[in-house]
Amino acid sequence: MCNVIIVDDEPVIRFGLKASINWEAEGLTLLGDFPNGEEAIKAMSENPVDILITDIKMPIMDGLTLMKEALKIFPNLKVILVSSYNDFEYVQEGLRYGAIDYVLKPTLEPDEFLQLIKKCVKKIREERDINTKLHLVDQTKLLQERKQLEQKLKKMLLQGKDHPYLDHKEAWMSGSLLVVYAKIDDIDDVEERFGDLYSSFALEEIHERFYSEFFEGVCLVIGETEILFLLKEVMSPEQEINQLKKSILEDFDLNFSFGYHVIRDLKDINNGVKCSRIAYKKRFFHPEQDVFKYDLPNEHNYNRLKAEQLKQFLLPFDEKKVKNFIEDRYEQWNKEEMDPDEIQQEATDILTNLFYDKLDLTLLLAKCSELNKTETLDGLFSLLVKQIDECSTLINDQDDKPYVDNGLMEEALEYIHQYYTEMLTLQMVADHIHISRNYFSILFKRYSDKNFIDYVIDLRIKKAAELLMNTSLKVYEVAKKSGFNDVKYFSKLFKKMTGHSPGDYRAEHQK
């Protein structure tokens, strides 16, 4: 749509110009008509105007003065002059200043006037197209520069040192910078619900969305569950992170926690990433929060207990003694707030010292792996207590090797095949056959040679392929009936596993 105003001191002429064209049918909006240039300028300061139709000779402010003032406000304004026979010198001056054309009052014909309006509209659209293309070129160039910077930063992070080619900086990089490290929360639950590819697909989409939503800054995917943002320093980093969450993270069925640190210069990026990661680790002790600022670490004299010390405290095995020891260690871990990696390692040392020569090594290593994946101290403590209880039970039952009970697994498979198109988790199946979640996971892998969620996803993809071949359901309907709630994830996963998009697969197999 183009906005138009008419200016003439003669009411009859203004009425005639307004009535000679069906403005709305021509895709135009007539904002109003005015008796002099002064009133017109005031109106133009309140609303954008694309086409100005003005008389030349008027009181208070004449048409040429109006035209010059209006072009200062809107340089791309299209002007049509309305003149009498004796105004030709003024008309020539107006054309020199950039008027599109002129019409004569005595001989004004509606068709001629309409053609002039269409001429203006054509020029406006051509200019807009050019501006759009130029803007697209500028945005494309800017995006390429940001992606190039992203690759250079990745190289810096991999090599752990500065590089001279970062001397060139964009305007937003001229001062201090905000480094934000983000990691997906509860990744085990995410992978159990959606499979281990969902998080990587989601991070790829978040990465692309960042560049379309934020016109300054850089985004780097730095792991299967981790993403890094480099932004211009702001007064409130927490507010900026909340904007990140609102703009590009809320659409995903994921929760993130963040650590951040401000660096003085881009070349300090390695330290910035290190500090933001350290800040994030506070979540291990404070899971009720999701944004953490880097602070200088406190000095601790904490040392992880060595194997010989652990044996002294733990052996010979006594359930009450072990429970008291673990509770004491929990209090110490919580008080010191040491590196979570060190705490996790000590927890695995406790488990292996208790059961190394009493349990199947595969089972023991699987339990240690679960401890190392815990994201909070409370989660680690609860899991360690539970695992010790499970291991003790296995030993007491003389069931220290995870032999597969075929009947039990057949019962689990029957349940899976009955409910795989619905919400189905490892815990639900384990509960159905009355064994622990972790133990079922190990047994299922041995029996089927697949992880539980991979097995379920295979079933869902096969169901989707069948529906695509044999029904006319829309892709989102196929996704839902196959057990996928996220159609974007379904489409990406289907293509990865079959080599075809859902649409292409249907086209090929319904011939």
- pLDDT tens digit string along 338-349? 889 999 999 999
What mean pLDDT is predicted for residues 415-432? 93
pLDDT at 89 over 80: no
pLDDT at 444 over 50: yes
Query: Considering the domain boundaries, does residue 398 fall inside one?
Result: no
pLDDT at 256 over 80: yes
pLDDT at 446 over 90: no
Which of 10-14, 51-55, 155-159, 228-232 has the lowest average pLDDT?
155-159
Query: Considering the domain boundaries, does residue 141 fall inside one?
Result: no
Instruction: Name the band, by pLDDT with cuts 50, 70 and 90, for residue 162.
Output: low
Query: Considering the domain boundaries, does residue 397 fall inside one?
Result: no
Which of 92-96, 222-226, 262-266, 278-282 has the lowest average pLDDT?
92-96
- In this structure, the number of other CB atoms found within 10 A of the CB of residue 356 comes to 10
Query: Considering the domain boundaries, does residue 161 fall inside one?
Result: no
Q: What is the largest CA-CA distance in the chain?
A: 117
Q: Which of the listed ranges 128-137, 213-222, 438-447, 496-505 does the model predict with the highest average pLDDT?
A: 496-505
Q: Are residues 334 and 450 in the same domain?
A: no
Residues 269-276: contacts with CB within 8 Å, 24+ apart? 269/153, 269/156, 269/157, 269/177, 269/179, 269/230, 270/156, 270/157, 270/160, 270/161, 270/162, 272/177, 272/179, 273/157, 273/179, 273/181, 273/222, 273/228, 275/179, 276/179, 276/180, 276/181, 276/228
Boundary residue ending a domain (240, 263, 293)? 293
What mean pLDDT is predicted for residues 149-160? 74
Instruction: Name the band, by pLDDT with cuts 50, 70 and 90, for residue 397.
Output: low
Two tokens, residue 290:
């999701």
Query: Considering the domain boundaries, does residue 160 fall inside one?
Result: no
Q: Are residues 378 and 418 in the same domain?
A: no
Consecutive H or E run containing 408: helix 406-419
Instruction: Name the band, by pLDDT with cuts 50, 70 and 90, for residue 273.
Output: very high
Instruction: Identify the residue whose tokens are 């697909």.
Output: 201
Boundary residue ending a domain (227, 259, 293)? 293
Which of 5-9, 129-133, 388-392 has the lowest average pLDDT?
129-133
Q: Are residues 112 and 63 in the same domain?
A: yes
CA 275 to CA 503: how far, in whole Å? 46
Q: How many domains does the chain have?
A: 4
Nearest C-alpha neighbor of 70 from the set 93, 91, 51: 51
Phi and psi at residue 397, to the nearest 5°: -85, 0
Q: Are residues 361 and 448 in the same domain?
A: no
- Give 74-142 as a DSSP string: -TT-EEEEEE-GGGHHHHHHHHHTT--EEEESTT--HHHHHHHHHHHHHHHHHHHHHHHHHHHHHHHHH
Question: In percent, how much of the chain has pLDDT > 70?
Answer: 91
Which of 100-109, 289-298, 413-422, 453-462 has the lowest average pLDDT?
100-109
Q: Would you tell me the crossing angle of helices 319-336 and 377-396 to the nearest 10 degrees?
A: 170
Phi and psi at residue 367, to the nearest 5°: -70, -35
Instruction: Identify the residue whose tokens are 């003439």.
Output: 8
Instruction: Name the band, by pLDDT with cuts 50, 70 and 90, for residue 411.
Output: very high
Instruction: Name the band, by pLDDT with cuts 50, 70 and 90, for residue 92.
Output: confident
Instruction: Identify the residue whose tokens are 């056959």.
Output: 433
Q: Are residues 30 and 124 in the same domain?
A: yes
Q: Print the domain residue range for 432.
A: 406-509
CA 483 to CA 423: how far, in whole Å? 7
Q: Are residues 434 and 502 in the same domain?
A: yes
**Residue 134 has what pLDDT?**
67
Nearest C-alpha neighbor of 91 from the set 107, 73, 103: 103
Query: Considering the domain boundaries, does residue 325 fall inside one?
Result: yes
How big is the CA angle at 457 (ends 456 and 460), to the nearest 5 degrees?
Answer: 90
- Give 194-219 as a DSSP string: H-TTHHHHHHHHHHHHHHHH-SS-EE
Strands (DSSP E) contained in 225-342 are 226-232, 256-263, 291-293
Q: Are residues 424 and 456 in the same domain?
A: yes
CA distances from 46 to 33, 42, 49 (A): 14, 7, 9
**Residue 314 has what pLDDT?**
78
**Residue 401 has what pLDDT?**
46
**Residue 149 has what pLDDT?**
76
CA 228 to CA 233: how far, in whole Å? 15
pLDDT tens by residue, 22-41: 999 888 999 999 999 999 99
CATH of the domain at 493: 1.10.10.60
pLDDT tens by residue, 336-382: 888 899 999 999 999 988 888 787 777 888 889 889 999 999 999 99
Q: Are residues 266 and 331 in the same domain?
A: no
Q: Are residues 112 and 28 in the same domain?
A: yes
Instruction: Name the band, by pLDDT with cuts 50, 70 and 90, for residue 399.
Output: very low
CATH of the domain at 110: 3.40.50.2300
pTM for the model stands at: 0.64
Query: Considering the domain boundaries, does residue 364 fall inside one?
Result: yes
More confident residue, 374 or 511: 374
Boundary residue ending a domain (293, 324, 346)? 293
Q: Are residues 24 and 102 in the same domain?
A: yes
Which of 39-53, 360-374, 494-508 has the lowest average pLDDT?
360-374
pLDDT tens by residue, 472-489: 999 999 999 999 988 888
The mean of the pLDDT values for the chain is 85
CA 135 to CA 320: how far, in whole Å? 71
More confident residue, 362 or 12: 12
**Residue 340 has what pLDDT?**
92
**Residue 52 has what pLDDT?**
93
Query: Considering the domain boundaries, does residue 362 fall inside one?
Result: yes
SS3 at position 444:
helix
Could you tell me whether strands 226-232 and 177-184 are parallel, antiparallel, or unpaired per DSSP bridges? antiparallel
CA 77 to CA 40: how far, in whole Å? 14
**Residue 139 has what pLDDT?**
61
**Residue 40 has what pLDDT?**
92
Q: Are residues 289 and 344 in the same domain?
A: no
Q: Are residues 269 and 204 in the same domain?
A: yes
Whether the bond between 11 and the residue before it is cis, its omega within 30 degrees of 0, is: no
